[in-house]
Amino acid sequence: MENGERRGSFGGNRSGAQGGKPAFGGNRAQNGERKPSFGGDKLLNHGEKTARGGERTQNRNEKPAFGGKTYAKPGTKPGFGGKQVGNRPYSGNGRPGARTVRPAGERPARVKPEQQEGLQSRRIALDVIRAVTEKDAYISLALDEKLHNCGLPLVDRRLAARLAYDTIENKLYLDWVLDQIMAKPDTDIKLRNVLRLGACQILLEDRIPESAACNTSVVLCKELGMEGLAGVCNGILRNLVRQKDELTFPDPQTEPVKALSIRHSVPEWLVEKLLADWGDGAMNLMSCRNHDSYITVRPNMTRMDDEAFEAFLTGKVWEHESGKVAHSWRIRNMAEIAHDVGFVGGQFSIQSESSMMAAMAVEPRRGMQILDCCAAPGGKSCLMAEMMGGSGRVQAWELHEHRTNLITAQVKRLGLENVRPMTRDASKPRPDLENTMDAVLLDAPCSGLGVMADKPDVKYRVTAESVAELVRLQSRLLDTVAPYVKRGGTLVYSTCSVLKDENVRQAEAFLARHPEFELVSLPESIPAEFRQHEGVGLQLLPDRDGVEGFYICRMRRKRV
């Protein structure tokens, strides 16, 4: 994982006035209060969450962007505000309030004036929630698509983002609550998602009147073609308002794992795994939320130095400050930064500080031959190529052609001549490459659980079985690519996970199998505040280090 964009790609940081979700069981000051998670007192508001861009390719069956148009395909729904024209895409203006064409059974309901305020934001939030839970979409991509050119004011865009993220982030908690209120918990998924959104507003959003949460949920229910269930929806949410102080939860003494699972909306198997790996520190990992909405950018080093980039940023309306890692800046109050002329023109890249450190661990130097084995979308490959001043060569491999195309697009945008994107299966040995590379970077496929604070849908996608399969794949990849490293060359292994099976145990097992390699310290280009935690590799923790959860291990092939 390497796209370092924090939630905020659609339009800025989250203000204290609108509030952020407090930690379970914490205290909170009066300024900017929000409702606590169950069983907790209120915490001082730390800010809102906003959209965060991801690196993975959007499912092509997902809904088009809000205000965008779609093909007239039976059974599909165009973006809200869009319309269908024959079987050709129609480009519209995305104005708020534009006519919506929906499939049969999904029609806009008649809305009373008192129900209109904030309804558009809730429509977008519900569309995103449905995309994630019904179509397995990635929340960051789904939200960015819905908000792009939607025409909504910034405050409404922030509301849509906050409601979508808070609902997905607290899905297990909200389901537990709803199951206590509903006579028939096993209900239609569309109604369940409307109820999740309504319950999120009632329980977690202090600045939203409970009546507005109920009324707008009824309207959304009708718009989804569930007029007959509108009364049921209204009754459930109003019962929740009346009974919210009587809700019960698992006893931490008798059911500690279940209690933590519901408290933090983390699947029980993952609670057990984190407790086994991190003990009391597991609670910090599960409760960590990215309230400080920013994205990290860095200059294209072949075009400008840090001083020039600082001047470039000063000319923008964005708030900016230096990051913890050299050549990094944290940006706030940005609006669709990926469409900025400077980004499109290759002046800078969006990349997390953790991802940058993985590339810096290779310690690229002029003229080196480097292999980046699982390179998409190309941020690390491009950073290493820039650090080499355009000399040498970085082979950037990806298994699937569409992901190789992402690397190609990055390389072209940045104007780099020393990166060679290739569609290659890194798990298949290439004897012709043995002893040819000065360095190999394996940023291996992983669970992605180091970025839960930014991408809450990750924790619901991963299973114990999928982690076990990933661990086997990581081991196989390490064994396959290690022979490509020259004697005296460098092998860097990294993941964006916090699970020890994927990280330190994986590195230890590799070193035991391959005595020709030895563990070496990370270079001084990585800040000392991080390197002080180095053991067998460096585990970056989001709650402790303030960056994405990442593991980086640097090894050297012995000369004899």
Residue-wise pLDDT tens digits, 248-301: 999 999 999 999 999 999 999 999 999 999 999 999 999 988 656 789 999 999
| Catalytic-role residue among 214, 374, 496, 553 | 496
Residues near 512 by beta carbon (within 8 Å), at least 6 away in sequence = none
How many CB atoms sit inside 10 A of residue 329's CB? 22
The CA-based dihedral angle spanning residues 204, 210, 216, 220, taken in that order and rounded to the nearest 10 degrees: 50
496 is catalytic: yes
Alpha-carbon span 319 to 98, nearest angstrom: 33
Segments making up each domain of the chain, as ranges: 16-249, 256-287, 295-350, 354-557
pLDDT tens per residue across span 526-543:
999 999 999 999 999 999
What confidence score (pLDDT) does residue 154 get? 83
- The kind and range of the H/E element at 440 are strand 437-443
Cβ contact 13:4 at 8 Å: no
pLDDT of residue 291: 58
Kindly report the CATH class assigned to 354-557. Answer: alpha beta
Q: How many CB atoms lie within 10 A of CB 60?
A: 6
**Residue 454, token pair as written in the block:** 């930014």
Q: Are 320 and 328 in contact (CB under 8 A)?
A: no
How many angstroms separate the CA atoms of 154 and 323, rounded? 26
Q: Identical fold at 295-350 and 354-557?
A: no
Whole-model pTM over 0.85: no
What are 293-346's pLDDT values in tens digits? 789 999 999 999 999 999 999 999 999 999 999 999 999 888 778 889 999 999
Q: In the prediction, which pLDDT does 293 show? A: 76
- What's the chain's Rg over C-alpha atoms? 24
User: According to the model, what pLDDT value does residue 111 have?
Assistant: 53
pLDDT of residue 187: 78
Domain 16-249 is in which class?
mainly alpha
Please give the pLDDT value at position 73: 39
Looking at residue 8, its pLDDT comes to: 41
In this prediction, residue 28 carries a pLDDT of 37
What's the CATH number of domain 295-350, 3.30.70.1170, 2.60.40.10, 3.40.50.1820, 3.30.2320.80? 3.30.70.1170
CA 268/CA 265 separation, integer angstroms: 9
Q: Which residues of the chain have pLDDT under 50?
A: 1-106, 109, 114
User: What's the pLDDT score for residue 3?
Assistant: 46
Centre a 10 Å sphere on the Cβ of residue 190 and count the other Cβ atoms it contains: 19
Structure tokens at 527: 């800040």
**Closest listed residue to residue 362, CA positions, set 485, 499, 530:** 485
pLDDT at site 117: 63
Q: Letter for the amino acid at 180?
A: Q
Whether 507 and 553 have beta carbons less than 8 Å apart is answered as yes
Distance between start and end Cα atoms, the chain:
34
